[in-house]
Structure 1
Amino acid sequence: MNLNYFNSHMKAVKIGLATVALALVTVGVQAQQKQQHSDPNVRAGEKALLDGDFKTAAAQFEKAIPSSGNDPDVVYLLGYSQFQNGEFKKSISNFTKVISLDAKNVSAYYYKAKANNILAVNREAKLTPVEREGLLKSAITDYTKALTVNASDAKLYQNRAVAYRDLGILLGTTGAGNYNKVSATDAYNKAVADYEKVLTFDASRKDIQTEVKKAKVYRDNLK
């Protein structure tokens, strides 16, 4: 696979709108189930978040951190708002803190991994191939940790498959400093396995069936 193909392929990676919508619904349900937070900044942040105003939400949650910095829910909402603003490095830092406070927070693992994957494939970011590799492997590790908490979440398998596929593309790009056909092949095989796992949840998903075929084609055409 040549470098130009890798560049064009990576530009096509975007945040799934369905995932964003799901997260918003989750936040809304949690907000309804809880009593109002005692911190007015948190309340303002929750309102902005539910209104889809992520910039204001992030600013309000930032104001709450001095007093609520050890509340995993508040730190999570800050990280989530930053994620939606495209402040991926900041969101990774906050999701990492959430995990340190609540090691079973699947959503924190999910968004931390997703942010790392987005950074890894951003061609405008001044990163070396080795740095991109590290980000993708970090994403894979976090999806795997999330799966130890909830092994029945098809979304985690699907996104880990994407990370494996992107790793395969990176390592299988001729001319890249970390080109490694054996490792690229292994990454593609693991992507296929995860995509096929998703199909065990819903065998009718044409999009996943297509991704399985594509990953196998990429793998079989490695040079």
Structure 2
Amino acid sequence: MNFKSIRIGFSVLALALTTMTVQAQQEEHSNANVRLGQKALLDGDFKSAVTYLEKALPAEEKDPSVLYLLGYSQFQSGDFLKASNTFGKVIALAPTNANAYYYKAKANNTLAITPSSTMTDAKRLELLQSAIADYTKAISINKTDAKLYQNRAIAYRDLGIIRSTEGGNTYNKVAATEAYNKAITDFEKVLSYDTARKDIQTELKKAKVYRDLLK
């Protein structure tokens, strides 16, 4: 995970913890394991949070808030496959939760680019396409969130890379060009919110180079 992703992760974490603190002040959850999971999360002990929140199931399996906390803890613990599955359950219960789409997409994108001797290129392609679809859904819910465009741009760029890898069974020059063009559009959208983002300026230039090298 690169520095930009970590920075965004900390920002979202701060928002999540603030929200949880307010909720905790208003009303304590009736399930002791959920309360322990919340405390562990607030302490930054994500692995313990996962343990407690998993113990809260199946009693709380229909509560999207509890599942969200579990998915977030799994994500921060580095268990991206479980996080993706858990956020999928959150979405099924709360289909307008843009953050659930965001984390499910981010988990799948991370899985797609993680070196693995067992994952096929076709599976990586599937994960990236799923990530893009989830970011797109999140954007339809929250059209002004720059981090959604930024992360979708990264997913499009990664899709372009896998589509432009010659010799692989996912190689497709036309599809690669299209993916890079969409990444460029999204990076430009991020810059429309903040033109001083040098990290995004760099990513935009790189995406253009990757695309142009295909020609």
Same fold by TM-score greater than 0.5: yes
Q: Equivalent residues in 2 for 1:31-42 (5 A)?
A: 31-34=20-23, 35-42=27-34
How far apart are residue 28 of structure 1 and its match? 1.9
Tell me the equivalent position of 2:74.
82
Instruction: Return the alpha-carbon distance in structure 2 between the equivalents of residues 56 and 184 of structure 1.
Output: 41
Match of 2:6 among 5, 10, 17: 17
Tell me how far 1:23 sits from its aligned partner.
2.7
Report the TM-score, using the length of structure 1 for normalisation: 0.91
Hey, what's the Cα distance between the residues in 1 that align with 2:75 and 2:117? 16
Structure 1 position 36, deviation (Å): 1.3
Look up the SS of the partner of 2:58 in the other structure: helix
Matches within 5 A, 1:92-171: 92-124=84-116, 126-171=118-163
Identity level (%)? 56
Number of aligned residue pairs: give it.
212
- What is the match of residue 57 of structure 1? 49
Residue 15 of structure 1: CA displacement?
Answer: 7.7
Structure 2 match to 1:200: 192
Higher relative contact order (CA 8 A, sep 6+): 1
TM-score, length basis structure 2: 0.95
Q: 1:169 to 1:194 in 2, by over 3 A?
A: same
Q: Alpha carbons of 1:207 and 1:99: their partners in 2 closer, same or farther (altered >3 Å)?
A: same
Contact 1:24 1:50 (C-alpha < 8 Å) held by counterparts:
no
Structure 1 residue runs of 4+, over 4 Å off?
12-15
Q: Which residue, out of 7, 11, 17, partners 1:28?
A: 17
Preserved contact between residue 165 and residue 188 of structure 1 (Cα < 8 Å): yes
Structure-1 separation of matches of 2:204 and 2:9: 24
Structure 2 unaligned regions, length at least 5: none
In structure 1, C-alpha distance between the alignment counterparts of 2:12 and 2:33, rounded to whole Å = 21
Which ranges in structure 1 are unaligned for 5 or more consecutive residues?
Answer: 1-11
Q: CA deviation at 1:163?
A: 0.2
Cα distance per residue 1:119-167 (max 9 Å; x no partner)? 1011125111111111000000000000010000000000000000000
2:201 counterpart residue number? 209
